[in-house]
Amino acid sequence: MIWLVGAGAGDYGMFTLRGLEVLKRADVVIYDRLVGESILSLIPDNAVRIDAGKISGHHKISQNDIQNLIINYAQNGKNVVRLKGGDPFLFGRGGEEAQAIIQAGLDFEVVPGVSSALAVPEFSGIPVTHRDFCSGVNIFTGHDKNNLLPDFDNTTSIFLMSVGNSKILQEKLTSKYPPETPCAIIENGTTSRERKFSTELKSLNETIIKNNVKSPAIIVVGKVAELNLSGRKNLRLYGKRILITRPQGRGETLAEKLRNEGAEVILMPTIKTEIIKNSLNDKNLSGYDWIGFTSVTGVESLFEILRENDRDIREIGNSKIAAVGEATKNALKSHGLKVDFVPKIYDVENLAEGLSGRGKILLFRALNGTKTKYNFDEIYIYETKYVKLKHIPDFSDIIIFTSSSTVRGFVENTKDFRNTKVVCIGRQTAEEARNAGFVDIKISEKATEDSIFNAILEICPRKLQQQPPS
């Protein structure tokens, strides 16, 4: 099956539910340069990734070769997602790809996307239509080979892929619009790198050159370009790009909290966990005074092994239960187990110290987890492995590390970002980050998503509220 999918204007929140559904099923993803980093992070780990990004004058892969790749992979039984910035049929050459697929006799589906022509101005506070200013909108590309211009009277005009031709565009528009017509240039719209410049038509080219505006950028021409109706820029984390290095499936709730405050969030798991399926072989779980769990993963791993081996949690008898923190406590509670002890500081060291002297102790933990100085019985129930990242974002404002292993997994992939601010759970994670060369380190008070979230807010100063236009 083939899907031609619009990835939206760059922001994670504008990727459609249908787009996410089909992306999860992809065996092969052929993506464009304008697809947002946070969307690329959703590509399945086992999918073949092909960067078909195009820059004016330089194409990594020709359009004909892209179409051949789509068809050949599909003919070999693969689910193929052609992932395109914005909408696949709006200046995206999706129509040509659809024609080629039809000629090849293959099934396909088009998944519409939110176009930057509408989303970028809106994110920046510009309504492309407004009953007090205009009654229509024109959308076209500066690459129009027919060099046609629409009727501009009482309309807004949106120009995509046009900054390279801004001088010629300005000259042609001046014959249609007064020189004082408001204009806006928006670079990297909807992302943390967004820049917006307001000017007049007579200064359009000068503004682009002066500010070194680069693609991707759009140009808005018309009276509405002087409006600024954006509330998003008042959000606490607007303009911040944040990386979450937690294992896959563990960072979504935190990511949502951060996006609600305006951040661009990229889920970039640097570790993965694998259950050690034979870890309970010939192990007697009874006779312990306390059984401790050092992570949510340990809880889920135990119950998965018990299910697979037709064993029962009642094997632990009357043992009391200890959890390293609130998340682990809640995981145990979801399986019907009451937790009798949680340390005030959520880490393995404090868990072990709190259990010391309380009788016979068993800990379920990771094979390569943090060691303790106490002589407890331990069962290594899962293993942490580093993830080889297929794509690393070119910059970040804040990196979140939730364990020492996430730091090590990150460093395994890149030596950059050492001057980036980091938020760490616990002293041990912070020490690992410090040893890796990070300098600007914030430690969250507790090993909870709320605590991480609050720590990020603390290092990001509150913005002054914008005043409404008079």
Q: Looking up tokens 């949502």, which residue turns up?
A: 256
How crowded is residue 148: how many other Cβ atoms within 10 Å of its Cβ? 7
3-state helix, strand, coil in the chain (%, to 5): 30, 25, 45
Is 344 known to be catalytic?
Answer: no
Which of these is catalytic: 54, 202, 385, 463? 54
**First-to-last CA distance in the chain?**
53
Helices H / strands E in the chain, number of each: 14, 22
> Which candidate in 32, 87, 347, 397 is catalytic?
32
Place of tokens 């779980």: 285
223 membership: H or E segment, kind and range: none
What residue type is 302 in one-letter code? Answer: L
User: Helix H segments across 41-140?
Assistant: 63-75, 94-103, 116-123
Q: How far apart are CA 236 and CA 64, in angstroms?
A: 45
Dihedral, CA of residue 408, residue 414, residue 418 and residue 420, to nearest 10: -100
The label of the residue with tokens 């021409």 reads 221
Q: Is 54 a catalytic residue?
A: yes
Gap between the Cα atoms of 231 and 235, Å rounded:
7
Residue 172's Cβ-side half-sphere holds a number of Cα atoms within 13 Å equal to 15
Would you please indicate which residues are annotated as catalytic (active-site) residues?
A: 32, 54
